[in-house]
Amino acid sequence: MFAFIKKILLYFLVLLMPNATICNDSIIETPTVGISSETLVDHEYLDVFIGGSSNSEVFVKGLKFSEESGYSKVEHIMIPDEINGYPVTTICDTAFFNEGGSNSLDFIKSVKIGDNVRYIGRCAFLDSHIESIELGKNVEIIEQGAFECCYFLNEIELNNNLRVIKGSSLAFGDYFNSTYIPQMPESIEYIDSYCFGGIRNTNTFVIPKGLKFWGGNIVNAKKLVVLSAELNFGEENIINSECIVYCYENSTIHQKLKSGEINNEYHLIENAYLTSETVDISEDYVISGLQGGLTENDLKSYLKVEGEAEIRVSDEVVKTGTKIELVNADPEFVYKTYTAVVDGDINGDGAAVSAEDFTAMRDIITGSDSEYSDINKKAADLNGDGIVNSTDLTIMKSLLN
Ligand SMILES: [Ca+2]
Ligand SMILES: [Ca+2]
C-alpha cells in the first residue's frame, strides 16, 4: 500500500519536473544542455543528441521508438563511451523510466554505463525491471530517484569518482524493508535524504571521511562510525537511541554530541596510521621500496601501527597494487588504505623484474600502453628519480642478466 502511494507521488513529481535538471546546491555542478541540442546522433537503439556547453557531448534520452514493437526490446543496455567520436556524458532525466508500466520497459534486465558518463539524471531508471547495473568509472552524480523502486535490483557497486547521491536514488529493492546499504567510496561528498530509503537494522554504518553533507535519514544501526571531520546534517536526521556513535575528537558530530544536540552514547576514535623504518610511506598512502616475494607476515614486520588498529593485506604474496588496510576490529571500519609498490614488479603479478616487467617498462617509456597507473610507473622507476626512462631500462636489463 505504502509503495503504491509512493509510486503515485513519484509519478506527479516526474510530471512536474522541468526538462533540464536544475539544482542549486553549490557542491553539485549539473550538465547544461547546449543550444543546438536537436542535432541527432546515430545509434542502433538509444535515442541520443549532442549537447553540453560546447555542443560536443552526447546525452542519452532513452530508447528509440519503433512502430512495430513500441519500444525497441533491448534486454541489455550498453551505454557506450562514445558515439560518432563524441563522449557520452549524460543520461537524461527519466531516460529509462518505466512510466506506470505502460511503456513496457519491463524487458530491460541489465545496464552497463560507459566510462565517460558523469551524470545520471532524475528518475533515470525509476520503476524499471533491471536486475544489474554496472556504473562507469567516472559517474559523479546520481540524481534523485534514479534507481528508486527497481524491485529486481539487489545491489550496486558504487564507483570511485562518485561525489553526490541525491534523494532516494538508491532506494531500490524492497523500499520499506531493505537492509542493504552499498559500500560507500571515499570520493562521496554529499548524500541526500533517504538515499537508501532509510538505514535499517544494520550492525555498523560507516560514514566515509570525505562526506560533507548528509541529508535526512533514519539510522537504525547498532554502531555509527563517522570518519568525516566536517559532516553537516540535514534537518531530518534521526539516529536511533541505542546507536553508539564513534567519531574523531573535535569533529562536527563530536561537537553536537558534546553539546547534547545529539543525545547518543559516543566514543572518540584514535587516529591510526602506519610508520616504517625500512620502507617508504608517502603522504598519499603508497608503500614503496618493497622487494619481490614478500609474504603478508614479512610485510607486517616492516610496518609499525600507531594507534588501535590491525593490518589487513589483500594478497598472500605482496604485489605492486596490493591493498594494505589499517582496520579497527570493533566496530569494523577501515582507517586508511595503503597501496604497495614492489620495485620492478611493473605488471603487478608479484614477480619482480621478469621479461613481462621489461616489456611493461618499455611500453611505459614509449607511451604505447596508457593502461599503466601511477603505481605501476612507480614500480618502474628503479633508480627513484621520479621519472621512468632509459636509465631505468638499463638497470632492469642488468638485473635480468
Ligand atoms: Ca612482475
Ligand atoms: Ca628513474
**Same domain as 149, residue 11:** yes
Share of the chain above pLDDT 90, in %: 57
Q: Which residue has the cell 614503496?
A: 288
| pLDDT mean across residues, the chain | 85
Model pLDDT, residue 202: 78
Q: How confident is the model at residue 28 (pLDDT cuts 50, 70, 90)?
A: low
Angle ∠(214,217,222) on CA atoms, nearest 5: 100
Model pLDDT, residue 74: 81
Q: Is-contact 342 353, C-beta < 8 A?
A: no
Q: Is-contact 138 159, C-beta < 8 A?
A: yes
Q: How confident is the model at residue 2 (pLDDT cuts 50, 70, 90)?
A: very low
The CA 376 to ligand 2 mean position distance, Å, reads 13
**Same domain as 292, residue 190:** no
In-domain check, residue 174: yes
In-domain check, residue 226: no
- Can you give the C-alpha Rg of the chain in angstroms? 24
Domain ends where: 174, 197, 220?
197
Model pLDDT, residue 108: 87
Cβ neighbours, 10 Å, residue 91 = 28
Q: How confident is the model at residue 399 (pLDDT cuts 50, 70, 90)?
A: very high
Q: Angle, nearest 10°, between helix axes 390-400 and 355-366?
A: 170
Q: 366, 360, 349: which is closest to 396 by C-alpha?
A: 360
> Could you give the CA distance from residue 290 to residue 303 in angstroms, rounded to a whole number?
11
Domain ends where: 178, 197, 216?
197
**Same domain as 138, residue 6:** yes
Give the structural domain span for 38. 2-197
User: What are the grid coordinates assigned to 141, written together?
Assistant: 552524480
In-domain check, residue 98: yes
**Same domain as 155, residue 11:** yes
Q: Is-contact 168 195, C-beta < 8 A?
A: yes
Q: 348, 343, 394: which is closest to 373 by C-alpha?
A: 348
Could you say which ligand is closest to the alpha carbon of residue 376?
Answer: 1
Could you say which ligand is closest to the alpha carbon of residue 317?
Answer: 1
Q: 19, 333, 21: which is closest to 169 by C-alpha?
A: 21
In tens, the pLDDT along 173-215 reads 776 666 678 888 989 999 988 888 766 777 888 889 899 998 8
What DSSP element (H or E) covers 239?
Answer: strand 238-239
> Could you give the CA distance from residue 289 to residue 73 in angstroms, rounded to a whole number?
54
The CA 382 to ligand 1 mean position distance, Å, reads 13
**Same domain as 281, residue 184:** no
Q: Is-contact 323 338, C-beta < 8 A?
A: yes
Q: What is the mean pLDDT of residues 138-147?
A: 95
**Same domain as 170, residue 280:** no
The CA 393 to ligand 2 mean position distance, Å, reads 9
Report strand pairing: 57-63 vs 46-51: antiparallel
User: What are the grid coordinates assigned to 277, written together?
Assistant: 623504518
The CA 279 to ligand 2 mean position distance, Å, reads 18
Indicate whether 8 pLDDT > 70.
Answer: no
DSSP annotation of 101: G
Report strand pairing: 244-247 vs 266-268: parallel
3-state SS assignment for residue 376: helix
Indicate whether 15 pLDDT > 50.
Answer: no
The CA 381 to ligand 2 mean position distance, Å, reads 4
The CA 379 to ligand 2 mean position distance, Å, reads 10
Model pLDDT, residue 264: 94
The CA 302 to ligand 2 mean position distance, Å, reads 24
Domain count, the chain: 2
Q: What is the mean pLDDT of residues 144-165?
A: 92
**Same domain as 278, residue 191:** no
Residues lining ion ligand 1 (Cβ < 5 A) are 345, 347, 349, 351, 354, 357
Looking up residue 149, the CATH number of its domain turns out to be 3.80.10.10
In-domain check, residue 22: yes
Q: Is-contact 298 261, C-beta < 8 A?
A: no
Model pLDDT, residue 294: 93
The CA 388 to ligand 1 mean position distance, Å, reads 16
**Same domain as 184, residue 64:** yes
Q: How confident is the model at residue 104 (pLDDT cuts 50, 70, 90)?
A: low
Model pLDDT, residue 195: 83
**Same domain as 39, residue 183:** yes
In-domain check, residue 83: yes
Q: 100, 91, 59: which is closest to 169 by C-alpha?
A: 91
**Same domain as 53, residue 169:** yes
In-domain check, residue 264: no
Q: What is the mean pLDDT of residues 41-68?
A: 84
In-domain check, residue 287: yes
In-domain check, residue 304: yes
Share of the chain above pLDDT 70, in %: 84
Cβ neighbours, 10 Å, residue 386 = 8
Lowest mean pLDDT among 97-106, 125-134, 320-329, 340-349: 97-106
In tens, the pLDDT along 362-387 reads 999 998 877 788 999 999 999 999 99
Residues in the chain: 401
Model pLDDT, residue 256: 93
The CA 299 to ligand 2 mean position distance, Å, reads 24
Global pTM reads 0.77
Model pLDDT, residue 283: 93
Lowest mean pLDDT among 7-11, 124-128, 138-142, 310-314: 7-11
The CA 287 to ligand 1 mean position distance, Å, reads 17
The CA 353 to ligand 1 mean position distance, Å, reads 6
**Same domain as 321, residue 177:** no
Domain ends where: 179, 197, 215?
197
Indicate whether 5 pLDDT > 50.
Answer: no
Indicate whether 318 pLDDT > 60.
Answer: yes
The CA 343 to ligand 1 mean position distance, Å, reads 9
What DSSP element (H or E) covers 61?
Answer: strand 57-63
Looking up residue 374, the CATH number of its domain turns out to be 1.10.1330.10
Q: 98, 126, 92: which is closest to 21 by C-alpha?
A: 92
Q: What is the mean pLDDT of residues 344-358?
A: 94
**Same domain as 193, residue 278:** no
In tens, the pLDDT along 110-121 reads 999 999 999 999
Model pLDDT, residue 21: 39
